Copies of this chain bind each other. A is one copy, B any other.
Amino acid sequence: MPERMVVVGGVAAGMSAASQARRMRDASALEIVAFERSSYVSYSACGEPYYVGGYVSRIDDLVARTPAEFAARDIAVHTRHEVLAIDTQRGEVTVRDLDAGREERVGYDTLVYATGATTFRPPIEGMDLAGVHEMRTLNDALAVRRLVEAGARRAVVVGGGYIGVEMAEAFHRSGIPTTIVTASSSLLEPQFDPDMGDLVLQAARNMGIEVHTGRQVETLHGEDGHVTGVGCAAEADADAGDGQREFVGDVVVVLGLGSRPVVELAQDSGIPLGESGAVWVDDRQRTRVDGVWAAGDCAEATHRLTGQPVNYHLGTIANKQGRVAGINIGGGDIRFPGVLGTAITRLCDLEVARTGLTEAEARTAGLDYVTDTFSTTTTSGYWPDAERMRMKVLAERGSGRLLGAQIVGGPGAGKRIDTVAMALWNEMRVDDVSMVDLSYAPPFSGVWDPVLLGAWRLKGTLTS
């Protein structure tokens, strides 16, 4: 009889684990069963704002593989099935078929805990009104797009993180007057330092997106069960002008306040969490419970620069951790080497990217650092279509180790963050980075690429 691998959560990490385990071991040796609470598996959550914004026209385009495609590879996928309990002693999960309303117990030899993350929901009135959405499953994306197509007259995005900014673009592109309400003083905080976040804030306002900083949503007003208005107050300590503020109309509200790992099931089952609040895993993605593995947004990762446990919710990490879990379950031996928090997004034509540590993160880690921020272009300065690009870099005093970078700029600016990420990965010092043989031609950069320029500038600061 084959062993059975049960996957709890069928999105990036869970289905990557399933696919890799299947590559390593066939169905005669390993049965694979995945349970997913929503109606879709193996989808690109990161693509949802672009579906709402109409860049991607079919929701199916966001699905990498359907249950039928998994079935063809001998991976049984059950959508609309919620795992309610894990009995790690008996090796058994209790699963509820959400449509049939039935519960059953399913034994496992190996379990992959890949429950993902859940959106923060502020503890205020009106959260259950129709028209209030988070942006997590494809059902969320479908529902919000339907509201857009039905002619919503104002969109309010609560929170100014990645999802908040991406949803603001989606609504803006759909021609809907859009407001972002954030308790922070800028956008994309704390993923970016406020000086860099301010550039995004200014760009948003220049595009005609309203942004209210230093404000928290206090109430959601409704009529006939539908949200019709948003009330928010200035933060006590923020210089945000007058107090109460209302946005009323035919509103759609999207929550972009960030997310937390789904760990309740783990806690109830005795699967220990780590310092970050996510499920503790070793570098092979094993939890502290025999036979139980974890991967993705619900699992911890080690930051390569600080050595600290962190919990970022990024598709890149989920896919890699899932792959590592699956290969190891399949009998391979592969380690997850940690993260840098590299991320990229955009607000229309403005590209925004980061890697490594922000100033706040460097301070929290107790590192003594220097920083430099400069303006440059994505091309030679004399190139007619030179796009402006602002770059911030950090290095450790003493060691001279590069610590992080943030980029805000026009088309072509953002992906350069990967060059910095590769340098951080290798713990390079700024004097080493400053001399790397990077590419140059006038349409692509100055002869001193921005990454080299940043390293040179930090080198100057460190030695002066």
Question: Which residues of A are in contact with B by a Cβ distance under 8 Å?
Answer: 12, 44, 46-47, 50, 55-57, 61-62, 166, 304, 314-317, 319-320, 334, 336-346, 351, 353, 355, 380, 382-384, 412, 414-419, 421-423, 425-426, 428, 431-432, 435-445, 447-449, 451
Contact = CB atoms under 8 A, between A and B. Distances in A.
Contact of A336 (B304, B316, B435): B435
Nearest to A341: B437
Contacts of A44: 380, 382, 442, 447
A442 B50 contact: yes
A443 B413 CA distance: 13
Contacts of A351: 444
Nearest to A57: B384
Nearest to A60: B382
Contact of A418 (B337, B431, B449): B449
A12 B446 CA distance: 13
A346 B440 CA distance: 11
Nearest to A463: B332
Given A56-B382, A61-B382, A439 B425 contact: no
Nearest to A169: B443
Given A316-B437, A344-B441, A439-B343, A47 B380 contact: yes
B437 A425 contact: yes
B416 A415 contact: yes
A414 to B, nearest CB: 6
A62 to B, nearest CB: 7
Contacts of A451: 418
A337 B152 CA distance: 59
Contact of A414 (B341, B383, B425, B439): B439
B46 A444 contact: no
B447 A316 contact: yes
B384 A55 contact: yes
A383 B47 CA distance: 9
Nearest to A345: B441
Contact of A421 (B342, B380, B438, B441): B438
Contact of A437 (B340, B438, B443): B340
A425 B415 contact: no
A145 to B, nearest CB: 15
A445 B44 CA distance: 12
A320 to B, nearest CB: 6
19 contacts: A44-B382, A47-B442, A55-B383, A56-B384, A62-B382, A317-B437, A319-B447, A320-B435, A336-B435, A337-B435, A343-B439, A346-B441, A346-B444, A414-B439, A419-B419, A419-B422, A421-B437, A422-B436, A426-B428
A418 B421 contact: no
B46 A437 contact: no
